[in-house]
Chain A
């Protein structure tokens, strides 16, 4: 009896504090079961898997610095006379929003740094999401079972754009006010409801005295709240699905090869947060961003040249700039196509990339799970579509900065505008064709390498004088990696008339699907990968080729 007691008390005394805390938490939260599944979870390694981390960390940095900024920022459009320490603006009339931003920049020690970290992190967040999205797109990581996570990510990108826009509009400076005016003009162009939405959004006529306070609650509460939820969902799904991996020796669709979360990824990913934060802090130390004091407070009758939105709105800006000014007047109404079409296109172009995964899975009819990433060359049509999409986006960016292109490169603004107008149609087509050809070329090269080995660079002279280059056969690792990708066969509808001459009904959608499938997977869509027979035939013969 006494012996048991002593053992028990001794063991209780010996249990380390950490274990006792964990026991306490486990009794209430069940953390041991959670840790069992996740503590040594395997994550594959590839540099491109880090892009999503950049987004996550810059999002956290934005929240941290944003909370700090709310301590000093006054989201009010009350007119005040400025009496702070920035001399050139003293005595000027401005909104409280603008004057409190000046206060943060000049009178709060470190305020400017936090403002600049916040703004730089926002730019990096959006750029990170764009590049991360492209990584996922070009490697086919959006395929089943990850389509919903693709949509989560897409929503984060779109919401991020609007959070950024409402954020940089808050200081009520001349540049951002011009951007808000542009948005209001675009809203006005909407048929039937435009003027009403504008009056409701701005509490009356533009600019009114409400929009800063309204944008503020949207910027710090509504949108980030939704985004936080989406980010958590995004991460839960990443854990649940387990990360994708590239093909390679020992890697297949049924396993995940890499290193465990504890300790390697705890250290790498945790450390990477500090790296991202550190780099952004240093950028904010040396690179000025959004110097609102140089622009001055917003007045609807003033403007500066070279007015540009932040980069992620540049695409929308471009659409509005190069659209011809079409207006149709009828029955006492005006259809402002010159502004409304860009507004619609903005949504359509974004939607095109969002729905692509569903179109591709419809064309392939593939319902299996995919955990092995495609090399972009092995999915030429998808890659070409992605590059065409990026081309449209980039042409929009060029168009959005047409004045800067004109002034920096001494071009005519009219020529730049016409270039992007034509480029909007021609650019993506060219990009599609060129990309597809490059992909097919790379596939051919892979095939050549598999069948004939790699060029060794060693030139051999044969006894009869002929020079040949020695090709070294690839290792089995390389042979496997280069032939691991899957290839679909094009869908055949089959004869539409059966042997009795009775016509079989084929739906239009089915014909379209067969056409798309052919474009994706016939000889012009992919190079058949080398077969074992081809390999044997070549290798069993003469040693070189």
Chain B
């Protein structure tokens, strides 16, 4: 049903646009534009001249500010700092350039607005409006023209042309879509694998040394990476985005989750550092409770209980890396993560 079916009486009456003098009949009638009130500048030439001087002064200040801008650009070394009360220490060049540029611009604006407000005519004028929609005759002419044009094209009559044209127009954008294919490789199983594999040493992120169990103290949080991943490697960013590890040592008795205990070594557990919510690195560790908190969206995981989610928007526990100790006494991985690290995705399962 179209809104044409709304009965006319539901719509408010068309506004009376004729100007009426307030009378006994309608005290609410439109009294028409109020008479123009003169400003001081309209009647007192001295006030007008004062306005003129103010405007000219503003424009002059603007010119001076531009000169000052150039002077500051040339004169102030770019590493000098300056103390400005109450803001504090600022880069002197940035402060000077910004202030002079700002003054130069602001004074032009202030001058123009003051000019408009005090010296230009402030008489209000009424302009007529015209309906946006065309008059019926115009519409009739357009419709007739269109029909004529459509008839001459024979588009409606020659269906074969029409259908094949639509087909061609519908198909050709496919080329554009196909061309986007090489934007990137297919996901494959890339999100399921990290650099970790059996026998890879856990290397301390800060010292770049392989970790021994004795390096991990109770209550400390250690970040680790796989042994052969170096900052200069071309794929470092992509690999560390999946392989980043967080290592803590708990009292084995405190570990509530059976699998967690099995995959740990003397209470040392290794978990993915990448949050399972949207992939921020988790970095806040509470020693007493063994909770870790993602600083981005506050998902909280309990490291003593299989890193399950205890608060926040994350949907599942942090993946744990199974670790052990090799013959030389270094911590090593006993395989890759058993489930994908980082945020969940459709194919994760």
Q: A residues bordering B, Cβ < 8 Å?
A: 41-42, 79, 85, 93, 106-107, 109-110, 112-113, 116-117, 145, 178, 181-182, 184-186, 188-196, 198-208, 210, 240-242, 249-260, 263-265, 267-268, 270-282, 284-287, 299-307, 320-327, 329, 331-339, 361-362, 364-369, 371-372, 402-403, 413-414, 417, 450, 476-477, 479-480, 483-484, 486-491, 507, 509-510, 517, 532, 535-536, 539
Q: A479's contact among B28, B109, B116, B133, by CB below 8 Å, is which? A: B28
Alpha-carbon distance A361/B129, docked complex (angstroms): 22
B99–A307 contact, CB under 8 A? no
Q: Which of these, B98, B108, B180, B191, contacts A282 with CB under 8 Å? A: B98
The verdict on B217 contacting chain A, using a C-beta distance below 8 Å, is: no
A322-B280 Cα distance, complex, nearest whole Å: 16
Q: Note all chain B residues with C-beta closer than 8 A to A194.
A: 345-346
For A276, list chain B residues within 8 Å (CB).
109
B259, CB-defined interface residue at 8 Å: no
* 8 Å CB interface, B81-107 against A: 84, 87, 90-91, 93-99, 101-107
Q: Using Cβ atoms and an 8 Å threshold, which residues of chain B touch A366? A: 3, 6, 11
Is there contact, CB below 8 Å, between B17 and A253?
yes
Contacts of A490 in B (CB 8 A): 10
Chain B min CB distance to A516 (Å)? 13
CA distance A300 to B99 in the complex (A): 38
- Are the C-beta atoms of B344 and A188 separated by less than 8 Å? yes
Q: What is the CB-to-nearest-CB distance from B116 to chain A, in angstroms, rounded to a whole number?
A: 4
CB distance from A200 to the nearest CB of B (A): 4
Of the candidates B191, B205, B234, the one whose C-beta lies within 8 Å of that of A205 is B191
Q: Which residue of A lies closest to B296 (CB)?
A: A307
Residues in B neighbouring A199, C-beta threshold 8 A? 184-187, 190
Which residue of the partner chain A has the closest CB to B245?
A301
Interchain CA distance A489-B205 in the complex, whole Å: 72
Range, interface on chain B: 35 or more
Task: Specify which of A195, A253, A265 lies most central, judged by the most chain B CB atoms within 10 Å of its CB.
Answer: A195
B10 touches A204 (CB 8 A): no
Residue of B nearest to A278 (CB): B106
Contact of A487 among B12, B101, B295, B312 (CB under 8 A): B12
Point out the residues of chain B lying under 8 angstroms from A331, CB to CB. 349
A336 touches B344 (CB 8 A): yes
When chains A and B are docked, how far (Å) is the Cα of A479 from the Cα of B242?
71
Among B34, B241, B297, B345, the one with the most A-chain Cβ atoms within 10 Å of its Cβ is: B297
Query: Does residue B152 face the partner (Cβ distance < 8 Å to A)?
Result: no
> In the bound complex, how far is the Cα of B17 from the Cα of A437, in angstroms?
32
Given A199-B184, A205-B191, A327-B315, verify A403-B17 contact (CB < 8 Å).
Answer: no
Query: B288: CB under 8 A from chain A?
Result: no
Judge whether B314 and A417 touch: CB under 8 Å: no
Judge if B299 is at the interface, Cβ distance under 8 Å. yes
User: Is the CB–CB distance between B295 and A110 below 8 Å?
Assistant: no
Nearest Cβ in chain A — how far from B281, in angstroms?
Answer: 5
The interface residues of chain A lying within 8 Å CB-to-CB of B299 are: 325
Q: A306-B295, A479-B28 are in contact. List 10 more A-B contacts (CB 8 A).
A: A181-B279, A185-B277, A259-B124, A260-B125, A263-B116, A268-B112, A271-B108, A286-B87, A286-B95, A517-B10
Instruction: Report the Cα distance A107→B93, complex, angstroms.
Output: 11
In the bound complex, residues from chain B placing their C-beta under 8 Å from that of A335 are 346
Q: Within 8 Å CB of A338, what residues of B?
A: 277, 313-315
Whether A264 and B121, one on each chain, are in contact in the complex, defined by CB atoms closer than 8 angstroms, is yes
Determine whether the beta carbon of A325 is less than 8 Å from that of B277.
yes
| Interface CB pairs A-B, < 8 A, 21 | A79-B234, A195-B347, A200-B183, A204-B238, A207-B241, A208-B238, A264-B120, A272-B109, A278-B109, A282-B99, A282-B102, A282-B103, A284-B98, A324-B313, A326-B315, A335-B346, A339-B315, A366-B6, A483-B28, A491-B6, A532-B28
Whether B231 and A278, one on each chain, are in contact in the complex, defined by CB atoms closer than 8 angstroms, is no
Closest-by-CB residue of B relative to A190 is: B346
A225 to B34, CA, bound (A): 45
Report A-chain residues with C-beta under 8 Å of the C-beta of B128.
254-255
Q: How far is the CA of A513 from the CA of B274 in the complex (A)?
A: 50
Chain B residues positioned under 8 Å from A192 (CB to CB): 346
CB neighbours of B111 from chain A (8 A): 271
Write the nearest CB–CB distance from B323 to chain A, whole angstroms. Answer: 18
The 10 closest A-B pairs by CB, nearest first: A285-B98, A185-B278, A271-B112, A278-B106, A274-B109, A365-B6, A250-B33, A275-B109, A327-B315, A282-B102
Q: CB-CB contacts of B13-37 with A at 8 A, as 1s and 0s? A: 0110101001001111111111000
Assembled-state Cα–Cα distance A339/B278 (Å)? 8
- Interface residues of chain B, those whose CB is within 8 Å of chain A, are 1, 3-6, 9-12, 14-15, 17, 19, 22, 25-34, 73, 78-79, 84, 87, 90-91, 93-99, 101-113, 115-117, 120-129, 131-133, 180, 183-187, 190-191, 205, 223, 225, 231-232, 234, 237-238, 240-242, 244, 273-274, 277-281, 283-284, 295-299, 309, 311-316, 342-349
> Contact check: which of B3, B12, B90, B117 meets A286 at CB < 8 Å?
B90
Q: A301 touches which one: B95, B99, B241 (CB < 8 A)?
A: B241
Instruction: List residues of chain A with CB within 8 A of the CB of B1.
Output: 507, 509-510
Could you tell me if A535 and B11 are in contact, using CB atoms closer than 8 angstroms? no
Q: Which one of B116, B180, B280 contacts A182 once the chains associate, using CB atoms below 8 Å?
A: B280
Contact B106 A195 (CB under 8 A): no
CB pair B131–A369 under 8 Å, yes or no, is yes
The answer to whether A285 and B346 touch (CB under 8 A), given A275-B113, A321-B313, is no
Smallest CB–CB gap between B14 and chain A, Å? Answer: 8
Residues of A near B315 (CB, < 8 A) are: 325-327, 336-339
Contact B127 A42 (CB under 8 A): yes
Cα distance A450–B34 when bound, in Å?
19
Q: Which of A264, A271, A372 has the most CB of B within 10 A?
A: A271
- Output the nearest chain A residue to B114 by Cβ-Cβ distance: A271
With A278-B102, A281-B102, A368-B11 as contacts: A202 and B33 at CB distance below 8 Å = no
Q: Which residues of B contact A85 (CB under 8 A)?
A: 79
A536 touches B27 (CB 8 A): yes
Task: Please determine whether A488 and B12 come into contact, CB atoms closer than 8 angstroms.
Answer: yes
- Give the CA-CA distance A476 to B11 in the complex, in Å: 25
